[in-house]
Amino acid sequence: MNPETSWKHDVFTEDGSTCIVLSGELDLRAVEQLRQVLKKAIEESVRVVADLEAVSFIDSTIINVFIEARNDATASDRSFVVANPSPPVRRVLEVTGVLGFLSDSG
């Protein structure tokens, strides 16, 4: 991880699908870089999955970035979903009512 950030990402692309594996704490400091990572992936892939298994924290600014990514993907006939949220992240997504919208179950 970059000393100035508390998160990192790895990108894997195969057959028109991209998986972005996120880890660490995602908050306001991550917004702009995460937005750019997701935007690039959505432009280049038909399906984008953000794997949240190693994410220990998200706040409302990150939820907003995920909602924007989902809306941008849908507008471009592409898909964006979150997958494998860690227990604390799943709880935040459930409490805010966006888990279904952001996941394959939505």
CATH homologous superfamily for 7-102? Answer: STAS domain (3.30.750.24)
Model pTM score: 0.93
Give the per-residue pLDDT at 105.
64
- Per-residue pLDDT 10s for the chain (106 aa) are 445 669 999 999 999 999 999 999 999 999 999 999 999 999 999 999 999 999 999 999 999 999 999 999 999 999 999 999 999 999 999 999 999 999 986 5
Per-residue model confidence (pLDDT) at position 2: 46
3-state secondary structure the chain: CCCCCCEEEEEEEECCEEEEEEEEEECHHHHHHHHHHHHHHHHHCCEEEEEEEEEEEECHHHHHHHHHHHHHHHHCCCEEEEECCCHHHHHHHHHCCCHHHHCCCC
Domain ranges of the chain: 7-102
